[in-house]
Structures are given as C-alpha cells and as structure tokens.
Amino acid sequence: MEADFVIIGAGSAGCAMAYRLSESGSSVLVIEHGGTDAGPLIQMPAALSYPMNMARYDWGFRSEPEPHLGGRRLVVPRGKVIGGSSSINGMVYVRGHARDFDHWAESGAQGWAYADVLPYFKRMETWHDGGHGGDPDWRGTDGPLHVSRGPRNNPLHAAFVEAGRQAGYPLTGDYNGQQQEGFGPMEQTVWKGRRWSAANAYLRPALKRPNCDLIRALARRIIIENGRAVGVEVERGDGTEVIRARREVIVAASSINSPKLLMLSGIGPAAHLTEYGIEVIADRPGVGQNLQDHLEVYFQIASKQPVTLFRHWNLISKALIGAQWLFTKTGLGASNQFESAAFIRSDKGVEYPDIQYHFLPLAVRYDGQAAAEGHGFQAHTGPMRSPSRGEITLHSADPREAPKIVFNYMSTEQDWSDFRKCLRLTREIFAQPAFAPYLDHEIQPGADLQSDDDLDSFVRDHAESAYHPCGTCRMGAADDPGAVVDPEMRVIGVEGLRLADSSVFPRIPNGNLNGPTIMVGEKASDHILGRAPLARANEAPWIHPDWQNCQR
C-alpha cells in the first residue's frame, strides 16, 4: 500500500488536505482510527452533546489532576471518527482575530499574518448570511465549507445583544468580517440543517476521486530511513503493516495525538524519549510543549418567563424535534442553538477582544445535564489569552496508550484577575434592562459570590475546558530551538515529513478552533504542492480607535 501523500488523521486539517492534494492529481491515502460519522447523533446539529460524550466517537482523553483547579481531572474530548473533532464539536465558526495571526507572524511563523491567511479563509468557505447583515467582501462564496447563521427566533438572543449595547459595547454584524469586537449573531458550520463537518465538506468529495482513499487503522509510528520519512507503521486488524509515501508523510492527528506520534517516532525532547527506550532521530524539545486551551464557565440565569429551550427538555419534545429533523432537516434540530455571540475587551489598554461569549437560551451542561432550576439561559465565557502553558508527554512507548496531558490551567496571577474581571463584566451585562423581563436570579456563580475569594473558588470548582487544545508542535523559524515545524509545515530535522493541524498554532487564537484548523490544512496544501501562496489581502480590520484609554 502506497501513495504520493499519506495523511495521518481525517480531522479538520486532514480532510482539507486530502481534498486539495487529491484535487491536484496526486494520489492520497488517509489513515483514520475512528469509524463512520453516519447517523443522526452526529449529523443533527442540536444533538451535539451526544457524540462528544460517546466512547464510539471520542478518544476519551482526560487531563492529569490540574494543580490549580483543586486537583480536578478535566475531560478532553477529541473526535475519533471520520471528520475528527469537526464531527463532535459545537459547530461554532470563528476565524480568529486579525491580530492573532499577526502575532503568529511576529513570533516566527513568517507568511502567516492576517493578510496572508484571510485569502485562505475566503477560499475555504461558502458564506450564507441568512439575511442578518455582515461583510460580504470579507467572506468566501464558493468554498467547500458552508457557514450559516441560526434563525435567532428565541427572544433571548435579541435580549443578549441588546444588553451588550446597553452596557456600552459595540454591535457587530459579522465577527468573522472586519470587526470581531462587539455583540451580534453567531455563525455555525451547518448547511441545509446538517452538521457541515470537514468530512462532509472535504473528505466525501475527495473520496469520490479515484486517487484518494481512506484506511481505518491506528498509526503506530512514522518510518524514517536515513533522515527521511518514507511511510507509516499501522495496526490494522490483528497485524501491523507499513503504508509507504512516495512523496511525503503528513501528520494531522490533533494537538494531543500529533506530538505523541512524533515522540513515538523518535522526534521530540531527547531525554524524554530515551527514558522510554525510543531511539532519538531529531532532538526537538518543543514537541508536546506550549499546550494551550480556553477555560470557561457557564454563567447561568434562571428565567422568569418560560421562553427558554427547557420547554423541549422532555422525551416527547425531543422525539418530535428529532422526527421533524429526520424528515425535513428543519426545526430546532437544525441549529446548534448558539445563535448570539460577543467578543469584548476586559480593560483599557487591551488592543483587541480577550473575552468571548457563547449565548444559549437554556441552562445546561455540555454533557447534556439540564440545570435543576428548570427555565434558564446561560453564557459560556472566559478569558481567551491565558499566559498558562501545559504539555503533552508520553505515558509509555505503547502507541495504544493515551499520552499524559497537563494543561496547567490558572497557573499565573493574571489568569485569576482576568477571570474575576470576566465574571464581573458578565454580571453587569445580565443586569441590563434588556434582560429585566426574563431575569429571575443567578443560578451560578450565584449572587452571594462577590469577593475575589468567592469568585476564585467558583472558578476553581466549576471552570471547564472549552475543548480548544492547541500549540503542542508550534510553528516557528527553522532556527528556533522551540519550534517543531517551519512556516511551510515541514517538521524541522526530518525530510519528507510535514505536520498541519491545531498543534502548529504558536498562540491560541480568539474563539473556536475548527475554522483556523481547516485554514491551516488549506494553506499547508499549497506549501506541500510547492505552489505560490494566494496573494495577500489588503483589508484593514477594525480596532477600537481609543483602545488605550477605554474598555468599551
């Protein structure tokens, strides 16, 4: 078994690369350990809490006890299925802020500034504004990834945006356009009522071509001969075999599994590899380091009007919604229900937003457990640029064993002060007149938690991952000892090996990571094929004109 390109992982970046590389006429083999994404639990947007909590679709990772969160072990869902995490995520679509990508370029990822990546964001999407305004000039019209907006029929969506305006924040018609900062509609990777995962957008069309194939197998290690990657050793059925790459091996196995695979293949911190008896092929101390994530809390309010989605939180309603979706792909089942959003700055002197809000007209946990209070609504919120860094290391040299994951959340004083600010600003937004007809009382944190200590202990006990791990094989200059890949996605120190997924992010971008991860796969494809990158964009993003002196 061999192909020009062997891609490890059919996730957000892997699917995009399979599509673009096979489109060029090259032969492509994609290796994926997970199974099919067929069936309503994955394809129905409103069912999003199910696949994320199913062993069938999830790798089942957990963090080590987190020292600053009272020793809690947090779940780290990663998609083990066709489409990867784009098949089990919340389908929220965010590009990231222009300044995030400028920061990448400044930190050594040359050619990845916003002007460089905006053309790829446009190339990958077909944007549907749904009549809600937006910035068509900034958006794509004929890419494989459909991006749409929910209907926003629930009155609470409008209340949230109006409350933001009343609190003095700007409104934005398109946070993925010129202006991220402000309150407005949220976007989702949903098309014709179905989850529009990387599998639906990219992999299915690619697999229709005669030169693209998918193999279900577990990648054990990359085969490197004389300093060059020549294939992948996989476990399939009862045996192991080698799939050979005529041109290149491409790793796209996630920010958790990509560093693990490099280490098992002899690429990583030499002392750590030697500890497990792994022969060192390239001593790259940055492999597995620089782990980042977004931490968030669910700020929940009890509603005094029965307008929330709680009225559908019963078996009969769920069955009716499911049936309507199955037959017509319409109704409540056709949206992820995250239909209003906000990005704000926590303080003056912060140049661009560092707090995100996902608004939901229901008080519920990510694992699908409804709040005991009944009718309620919530905002998922947290700071977006934590200075804390964690790491991925090996537990053993056995490819079947999960790696050791330590996020090291909340390890700096700044994390705590940023989170307190975030909670107090959120409280103020919910206290605006727009919410007066609906707000009964605060379920959590709870109005009695006012002091710094109260808020700190709430975060310690209740903060959850937003499931945005990244950064563990960061991109940088070829002579940067901490970098793992160069700006063309080549793994430094090994020929014929590239890596492209969320692990290459030098720093976590604003918002949800599916969009930027697909963009990395799109842009990496041009580098792999030796094509000139798309022409840089000239659009100038909006930055608050007086950000140095005002917070809103």
Assign residue 452 the CATH number of its domain. Answer: 3.30.410.40
pLDDT of residue 546: 97
pLDDT of residue 129: 85
pLDDT of 366 reads 64
Separation of alpha carbons 141 and 458, rounded Å:
44
**88 located within any domain:** no
Is position 64 within any domain? no
β-strand partners of 488? none
**Mean of the per-residue pLDDT values for the chain?**
96
Examine the domain organization and report whether 235 and 324 are in the same domain: no
Q: Which domain holds residue 474?
A: 2-34+202-290+470-528
Is there a single domain that holds both residue 160 and residue 299?
A: yes
Question: Which among 194, 179, 76, 192 is positioned nearest to 137, based on CA atoms?
Answer: 179
- Residue 222 in domain: yes
Q: Note the pLDDT of residue 414.
A: 98
Q: Is residue 124's pLDDT more than 70?
A: yes
Which pairing describes strands 295-303 and 340-344: parallel, antiparallel, or unpaired? unpaired
> Are 366 and 431 within one domain?
yes
**Would you list which residues are annotated within the binding site for FAD?**
81, 89-92
What are the structure tokens assigned to 464, written together?
A: 């959850």
pLDDT score for 307: 94
Are 465 and 253 in contact, with CB atoms under 8 Å apart?
Answer: no
Q: Is 111 exposed, middle or buried (0-12, 13-18, 19+ CB in 10 A)?
A: middle
pLDDT score at 368: 65
pLDDT at residue 365, rounded to an integer: 73
178 belongs to a structural domain: yes
The catalytic position among 375, 468, 527, 544 is 468
| Assigned domain for 80 exists | no
The confidence score (pLDDT) of residue 369 equals 67
pLDDT at 100: 98
Q: Report yes or no on 265 lying in a domain.
A: yes
Q: Do residue 250 and residue 351 come from a single domain? A: no
**pLDDT per position as a tens digit, 97-110:** 999 999 999 999 99
Query: 225 and 279: one domain?
Result: yes
* Mean predicted confidence (pLDDT) in 314-328: 92
- Give tens-digit pLDDT for 349-380: 999 999 999 999 999 876 666 666 789 999 99
What's the number of domains the chain is made of? 2
For residue 28, the cross-strand partners are: 5, 212
The answer to whether 215 and 101 are in contact (CB under 8 A) is no
Residues 514-524, mean pLDDT to the nearest whole number: 98
What pLDDT score does 367 carry? Answer: 67
The answer to whether residues 373 and 437 belong to one domain is yes
User: pLDDT tens across 192-203, in order?
Assistant: 999 999 999 999
| CB-CB contact of 354 with 346 (8 Å) | yes
**Per-residue pLDDT at 242:** 98
Predicted local confidence at residue 49, as pLDDT: 85
pLDDT-derived band at 147 (thresholds 50, 70, 90) equals very high
pLDDT, residue 387, reads 98
pLDDT at 548 > cutoff 80: yes
Are 307 and 454 contained in the same domain?
yes
442 and 333 both lie in a single domain: yes
pLDDT higher than 80, residue 473: yes
Is position 272 annotated as part of the catalytic site? no
Check whether residue 305 and residue 159 sit in a common domain. Answer: yes
What is the average pLDDT across 165-184?
98
Same domain, 449 and 364: yes
Q: Is residue 479 located within the same domain as residue 515? A: yes
